[in-house]
Structures are given as C-alpha cells and as structure tokens.
C-alpha cells in the first residue's frame, strides 16, 4: 500500500465523515488522488472508505481521531506509513458551530468546542502536515473558513471569531510557508446545506428549516468543486481565497427568500 501511495497524489481531509469533507473525498478520488480520511466516527469512515475504493479504484487510509485532542492528532498522523506522508493537499475541513447565543448567556462548553475544533484543531493538524510538506518540497493547505469570518452577525460572536481566526491563520501560514513553495488557500462559504445547522441548533429541526427556507442553498459538492478548482491550478498559481454563496444570498444575513 505504501509503495502505490508514492505513485499517486495524496489528499488528507479532516472531518471527512460528512458534508463538505465527504464531498471532497469523492471529488479528489474521482481525480485519482489517494486519500487519507480523518474523523471522529469510525463506522462512517469505514463505510466511506469502502464506497470510494469500490467506485474509484483509489487507495484510502482512515484515521479516527478528534482534532481537539492534540496528542491523538500528532500520534495518529505520525503513525502513517512514510509513503502516505507525501501529502500533496491538506483540506482542513473539520469545524462546527454550536449554539447561537449572546455573550451573556452563551455556554462555556459550546465556546470551548468551537475554539478547540475550528482554531486549535486546525493548527494541530497543520503543524504536522506542514512539516511533511516542507520535507517533500511542495504542498497545498486548504482551510475551510466561512462568510462568518468576514462578517459578524447577531449571536454569532464566537463562531464568527473562530472563522476570522481561520482567515488570519491562512494569511499567516502563507508567510510562513512561502519560501518552501507551499500554497495556502482559504475557502469561505455562505449557506451550505449540510449537518452544520443541525449541530448549531442542537437537533432543533424547526430552526434548521428556517435557515434554508425559500432559498436554494449551496450543497457540499459545490464547495468540493470549488476546492478542486483551487487545488488543480498550475504550480505557479495560488488561489489565496474564495468567497462562495448561494445566488439568493447577499451577505451573512441578507437573503432573497421566495416564501
């Protein structure tokens, strides 16, 4: 397995068990990349791995860890066979929003989870993989930001702050990795219908319904195709960042709803 991995390009995707991460797994497998898929849900990882191997004939390795667990991130990633450390593209997709509350009543555990996942988790993974890319002499880090990192909206302060952090971390990484020829791209989606809102609203399907009411939202595949566009530019071209929204969305809060 390690030998073949050396022959093909490799993408490592965090949070690959659903939504944008899962869609990226399909898109990159279609383009004949071998995949390292990471996530918290083992069963889903295994199911996706099997599906992709059968459908596209590429090789898939799965690593089960939570990006918030620094020791697990480092030890699981470092446990990869050497051939699999030749990662060409890292997609830092793992991220979430939990709760939508003002500062005076927000829950500490929601804040911790968002900051630990969206900011610290992204950093933990990036450090390990950036070092591999430096040894390999090339690489491309693609970070999932959000329109929420470009604008603030009511009750979104912590989530928006974490995505603003992703925006600045991406810009900072571009400085750090410039001399190594490593590309850094940030993708900032608006409303994408995934499990995002279900997690934000903690399973309240009525609130989730309202988010997408009267609009045709983006789907995970729209973002995966955008990421593929960024990843497939020629060696001398880097897409620094892209903001992508549904046609019926003007900014983080203004929609042209047809209800």
- Rounded to a whole number, what is the largest CA-CA distance in the chain? 55
Question: Quick one: DSSP state of residue 104?
Answer: T
Residue 147 engages ligand 8X3 in binding (rule: CB under 6 A): yes
Nearer to ligand 8X3, 132 or 196 (CB): 196
Of 14, 143, 146, 170, which one interacts with ligand 8X3 (CB under 6 A)?
A: 146
> Is residue 165 within 8 Å of 114, Cβ to Cβ?
no
CB of 251 to ligand 8X3, least distance (A): 9
CB of 1 to ligand 8X3, least distance (A): 35
The Cα-based distances of 229 to 83, 84, 94, 159, 233 in angstroms read 25, 23, 20, 27, 7
What whole-number distance in Å separates Cα of residue 214 and Cα of residue 255?
9
Q: Are 177 and 141 in contact (CB under 8 A)?
A: yes
Q: Which of 3, 108, 159, 212 is catalytic?
A: 159
Q: Is the dihedral of CA 23, 196, 190, 214 positive or negative?
A: positive
Nearer of residues 15 and 139 to ligand 8X3, judged by Cβ: 15
Interactions with ligand 8X3, residue window 187-216 (CB under 6 A): 190-191, 196
**Binding status of residue 252 toward ligand 8X3 by CB under 6 A:** yes
Q: Which residue number, 139 or 189, has a Cβ lying nearer to ligand 8X3?
A: 189
Specify whether 159 is catalytic.
Answer: yes
Helix (H) or strand (E) holding 13: strand 10-13
Q: Report the SS3 class of residue 91.
A: strand
Kindly state the smallest distance separating residue 48's Cβ from ligand 8X3, in Å. 22
Residue 255: CB atoms within 10 Å: 20
Strand partners, 141: 90, 184
**Does 148 engage in binding with ligand 8X3 (CB under 6 A)?**
yes
User: Site for ligand 8X3 (CB under 6 A): how many residues?
Assistant: 7
Closer residue to ligand 8X3 (CB): 44 or 157: 157
Report how far residue 233's alpha carbon sits from residue 223's, in angstroms, rounded to the nearest whole number. 16
Instruction: Determine the residue with CB nearest ligand 8X3.
Output: 146
Nearer to ligand 8X3 (CB atom), residue 130 or residue 252: 252
Active-site residues: which are they? 159
Under the rule (CB under 6 A), what is the footprint of ligand 8X3? 146-148, 190-191, 196, 252
């Amino acid at each position: 397995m390690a030998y073949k991995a050396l022959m093909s390009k490799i993408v490592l995707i965090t949070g690959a068990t659903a939504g944008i991460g899962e869609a990226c797994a399909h898109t990159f497998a279609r383009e004949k990349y071998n995949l390292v898929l990471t996530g918290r849900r083992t069963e889903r990882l295994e199911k996706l791995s099997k599906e992709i191997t059968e459908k596209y004939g590429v090789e898939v390795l799965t690593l089960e860890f939570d990006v918030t667990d620094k020791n697990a991130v480092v030890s699981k990633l470092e446990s990869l066979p050497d051939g699999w450390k030749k990662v060409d593209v890292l997609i830092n997709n793992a991220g979430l929003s939990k709760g939508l509350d003002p500062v005076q009543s927000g829950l500490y555990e929601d804040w911790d989870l968002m900051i630990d996942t969206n900011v610290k988790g992204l950093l933990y993974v990036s450090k390990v993989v950036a070092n591999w890319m430096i040894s390999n002499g090339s690489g491309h880090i693609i970070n999932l930001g959000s329109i929420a990192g470009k604008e603030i909206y009511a009750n979104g302060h912590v989530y928006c702050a974490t995505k603003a952090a992703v925006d600045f971390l991406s810009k900072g990484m571009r400085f750090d990795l410039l001399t190594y020829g490593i590309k850094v791209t940030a993708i900032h989606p608006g409303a994408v219908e995934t499990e995002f809102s279900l997690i934000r609203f903690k399973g309240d399907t009525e609130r989730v319904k309202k988010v997408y009411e009267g609009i045709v939202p983006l789907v995970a595949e729209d973002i995966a195709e955008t990421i593929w566009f960024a990843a497939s530019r020629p060696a001398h071209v880097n897409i620094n960042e892209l903001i992508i929204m549904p046609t019926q969305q003007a900014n983080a809060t203004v929609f042209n709803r047809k209800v």
